[in-house]
Amino acid sequence: MSDDEFHRITEIERIANGKPTHSKMDEAFRARMHRAIAAGLESAPTGVIITPGTKSPKCVSDLPSRQSRRR
């Protein structure tokens, strides 16, 4: 059985059991994440420092960190 056939059968079984498909779950997750970003509850890095030879690249965000915000 090929991977494509396995994924197709898995999706059919999910639908038959009344569960959402993986693509529907992905869509729902993206929608929730976009709402959380818009509300300021989450942030997404806008770049990564990848200097040649860097063993631990750092994520770079254009938003201030949560620790530096005043409460």
pLDDT tens for 19-70 read 888 888 999 999 999 999 899 898 776 666 667 776 776 666 665 555 444 4
Contacts of 65 by beta carbon, 8 Å cutoff, 6+ apart: none
Largest Cα–Cα separation, the chain: 56
pLDDT tens for 8-20 read 888 889 889 988 8
Is 32 within 8 Å of 38 (Cβ atoms)? no
Q: How far apart are CA 6 and CA 2, in angstroms?
A: 6
Q: Please state the domain extents for the chain.
A: 3-60
